[in-house]
Amino acid sequence: MYSFDWPLMFLLLPLPVIVYVFSKPAVISQKQALKVPFYTQLQNLSSHASTQNLSGVSPLLILGFLAWLCLITASAQPKWSGEAIEIPVSGRDLMLAVDISGSMETADMFFAKDAVNRLTAVKSVLQPFIRLREGDRMGLILFADNAYLQTPLTFDRKTIEKMLSESFIGMAGSKATAIGDAIGLAVKRLKDLPADQSESRVLILLTDGSNNTGIDPVTAAKLAKQIGIKIYAVGFGADEMIVRSFFGRQRVNPSRDLDEKTLKQVAQSTGGKYFRARDTEELQKIYQTLDLLEPVESDNLTYRPSKSLFYWPLSIALLLSIFILLAKLPISNTIAKAKRKA
């Protein structure tokens, strides 16, 4: 359907007629006649310029009125509105906290049969999970030496996915892992939600290490529990990895720094769960499990796409003005020639 944002602008449509009717003509005080040697040419030109159509109205006057009509139409802000589209809204506010410390650079993961580091594996699994969370407001926290809010809560999942894909190791430091700070930042961003939505507050925390800077994760989890935030913690990293050294090939545990005890305590104290992912397949299954969380029901939002159309009548008014200007050019040229002949 078509509509106008400012329909009252059409009240200005008769403005040129009002100005013409009520404006006083210019008073000519000079009584002496001016002798013009090319009076005959001007008289012929005047009769030509005042050529009228069958209705007695000048064509240029009609074009001028059409240009004015187009200007008024453009100023009334015409727009097209499409059919209403329902947007499913679950009512869940889900914050993602992803570890990007230096240990996430460990290449103990395989994705599509290629060896990749942990952060690349997390991105490959987490991005499809983000796409499927239709109806949830999502936010992204990245943490290492410090915790940073990369994206606030939003329904724009493409932005969340893009900001995650553009993250890299070192952008929040690389020598420490501030798990408690990440939880505290999530609490800060989720605490102002209405009380009736307390069950919809969820934090998914993914890390491959232990907290060694900032506030204590258990203390931060107590704050999360007070405002009803449920934490799902994911410990990530392989149990063993073959490395080459001076003494040959050796099996090592790249996840020896993973503090599973604290992560379990953090998750269980808030009513959530702890998951252990040793490869990308396990991580994918974990996110499939998380995707089955029962949403908090709420009414769907409706969105009606609209498009502004003011530039069409504005363009027509501009073209008509140019045409009127070009139509008057022969008159000016004829006057100039008459002056030169005189």
User: What are the tens digits of pLDDT across the range 181-211?
Assistant: 999 999 998 887 654 454 578 899 999 888 9
Q: Set out the domains of the chain in order of their start, with CATH numbers.
A: 2-19+37-82+305-341 (no CATH), 87-300 (3.40.50.410)
Q: Is the pLDDT of residue 98 over 90?
A: yes
pLDDT at 38: 47
pLDDT of 342 strictly over 60: no
**β-bridge partners, 115:** 110
Asked if 274 and 264 touch (Cβ cutoff 8 Å), the reply is yes
Residue 127 tokens read as 């991005």
φ and ψ at residue 91, rounded to 5 degrees: 90, 0
Cβ atoms within 10 A of the Cβ of 256, count?
A: 10
pLDDT value of residue 179: 93
**pTM metric for this prediction:** 0.60
* % of the chain surpassing 70 pLDDT: 75
- If one counts every other C-beta atom within 10 angstroms of the C-beta of residue 304, the result is 10
Q: What is the pLDDT of residue 251?
A: 65
Q: What is the pLDDT of residue 300?
A: 58
Alpha carbons 69 and 63: distance in angstroms, whole number: 10
Helix (H, G, I), strand (E, B) or coil at 149: strand
The letter for the amino acid at 157 is R
Q: How far is CA 147 from the centre of its chain?
A: 24
- Report the alpha-carbon distance of residue 281 to residue 154 in Å, rounded: 28
Q: What is the mean pLDDT of residues 271-296?
A: 78
**Which of these, 253, 257, 242, lies nearest to 177 by C-alpha position?**
257
Mean pLDDT, rounded, for 278-283: 82
The confidence band for 221, taking pLDDT boundaries of 50, 70 and 90, is: very high
Distance CA 263, CA 288 (A): 20
Residue in 189, 185, 312, 286 with CA at minimum distance from that of residue 233: 286
φ and ψ of 337, to 5 deg: -65, -40
Lowest mean pLDDT among 72-76, 167-171, 223-227, 234-238: 234-238
Q: How confident is the model at residue 252 (pLDDT cuts 50, 70, 90)?
A: low
How many Cα atoms are found within 13 Å in the side-chain-facing hemisphere of 101?
Answer: 25
* pLDDT class of 264 with cuts at 50, 70, 90: very high
User: In this predicted structure, what is the pLDDT of residue 51?
Assistant: 47
How many angstroms separate the most distant Cα atoms in the chain? 119
Stretch 104-111: mean pLDDT, rounded?
Answer: 80
C-alpha 132/C-alpha 194 separation (Å) is 25
**DSSP, residue by residue, 50-90:** T---TTS--HHHHHHHHHHHHHHHHHT-EEEE---EEE---
Using DSSP's 3-state secondary structure scheme, residue 133 falls into coil
